Structure 1
Amino acid sequence: MVKRVVLIVLDSVGIGELPDALNYGDVGSDTLGNITKAVGDLSLPNMENMGLGNITGAKNIKTVESPIGSFGKCAELSIGKDTVTGHWEIAGVILREPLNTYPEGFPNDIINEFETKIGRKIIGNKVASGTEIIKELGEEHIKTGCPIVYTSADSVFQIAAHEEIIPLEELYNMCKIAREMLVGEKTVGRIIARPFVGKDGQFVRTSNRKDFALDPFNKTMLDFVKENNLSVMAVGKIEDIYNKKGITDAVHIKNNMDGVDKTLEYMKKEKEGLIFTNLVDFDMLYGHRNDVQGYANALREVDRRLSEITSLMKKDDVLILTADHGCDPTTESTDHSREYIPLLVYGEDIKKGVNIGIRNSFSDIGKTILDLLNIENDLYGESFSEKILL
């Protein structure tokens, strides 16, 4: 009987374009396959041994004769290709309407209303990297007191402010105002406070980030696990994505390696239930910046550390590796890409070399996790637990 599942989302590590990629401008996107082709020498022995290269349609990735895990891939049923959409679908929430994104910046009606309600003008209002925009507009912000508003490929409204110019409580209140505004037809997944410090152009973001998210639109895998008196341990931005719903323990991280460290720490506590980890560097640092080599190196780093995770696994543990969307750094676009996500399942009670096939929805992952933990549920999705359990 499975007592604990370790679910790790390799943020943006897609494995090939979905049939509807044309509708999203993503024809030709294949995050993992194109990176492997571009660098030529990408070796991910631990993931390959689990069956990464054996997944149907996987390109340029080494196959193995006898995978030690079960493998497959999932199509996305929801409309969209952002972080919240992908993670919510994994947990059983299907979005029939996409969360709003603003690739040209927020329209005047939103900005004008926001400025009126906060009593300040804003600067920025464009898609930007969080570190780059404070470098670009930090001095102007200090001179004018105008908060910096920006967005990204995700459904986010981000507000950056120097902690000595706009106190944290005022910044958080601005975020609460934006959260109240951006609902209904204007719904945005997350409002994010991005405080920073420094002077003379040498600005750094602080740890006082705060997210103002939406509750998932229906009951999730996390809720079912928690309601059955099991632990739901969130690593990275998982807590923010689900707006703390269904979570019993949470820790935020500095980077991928810190995420692995925190996952290992939760494993050592030996609590039964779910450890749910997001490793965001692939997306944030490399995918959106079209840094192919950086992305490849990050994949190698995480792959090397998988042996630490598997060595801590007990007989009743199951490890699942997956993603939430693509973000192909080899294409001209710096946006997310509409792709299948990989699915690798490993554990002593998991069959070796089983092709789980192409799943119709990311939600099959959440449905299967609940079945593995023997939790009765009516979550959307089709479980593949019978295919993989010994």
Structure 2
Amino acid sequence: MTDNNTLLEKLDGLVSRFEEVSTLITDPSVIADQKRYVKLTKEYKELGDLMKVRKDYVQCLNTLDEAKQLLLTEDDPEMKEMAREEASACETRIPQLEEEIKLLLIPADPQDDRNAILEIRGGTGGDEAAIFAGDLFRMYAKYCERKGWKMEISSFTEGSAGGYKEIICSISGEKVYGTLKYESGVHRVQRVPATETQGRVHTSAASVAVLPEAEPFDVEINEGEIKWDTFRSGGAGGQNVNKVESGVRLRYNWKNPNTGVVEEILIECTETRDQPKNKERALARLRTFIYDREHQKYIDDIASKRKTMVSTGDRSAKIRTYNYPQGRITDHRINYTIYNLAAFMDGDIQDCIDHLIVAENAERLKESEL
């Protein structure tokens, strides 16, 4: 019972905090402080989930005690049989609830609920790497469609034989960053490129970076210091092209708080034909860029403390191989191999992500020693 007692003590300790937060989120002065209010409503939801499981857990423990008591004192065979069944059901359910509680007690990554910026770049392998970057982009676009997420392209550079040398887009929806963060790293492809005449298998690579999108109040930007330029968007066809200056370019001098060095940040956005919209999106990317850089120190600290095989924080690590001749996908972090490459490239990647989440949770449980 010691395990039960420790978990119950931890849960009982959170009851008063849950009540306190419940009161705070109705306080007008808290509601007026947007940053604090958002933080508290998130905590309220997380504690609410814990309270719900706590209620089931306490109920299960009590039912088990009562059933055991009945088995000792009851003479009626039917009542005894009922008690036996109840005890057995509770004995199965209690360990499941304990696992659930342990996972809920591990502090979630506060960034998991955010939207994300996805950046895909062709790596080694020239034209074929750009074609593969295009295939990866299509895979994520299909996946977002399945999840009901919204994907918007911010900028791209096409490869000379198709695909993209680089493509950057923003993805919004529920828990986007928490789901896609495991995709950051180097993706390697083995196949006969369309550009190969001899039929030899080549190995190329593309890198994927998934960044949590910054909230407006995460990053302080002095908008007066941004230098804006407008230019005509290039591109094929259409009445609007090359006549209207809808593309925007921003330059911003930012002092890196980790190094003290002032860097010039340059961001272009040609996403829409509407200049104010492009400005808005360029600003969102500037925020995310600064947030990511300021948080790199925080990410490095976590990575050095928590070298889990799943999310090392190292964007140069080779994470997955796509082998076309064998129709095989291998995720090197968790030795996950499946042979449904065509479906995977068509956006059917949830199973792999689920395995990565389970592996990461198992490591975090081990570390938290719950």
* TM-score interval for Structure 1 and Structure 2 normalised by the shorter chain: under 0.3
TM-score of the two chains, using structure 1 as the length reference: 0.24
Would you tell me which structure has more helix in proportion to its own residues? 2
Higher relative contact order (CA 8 A, sep 6+): 1
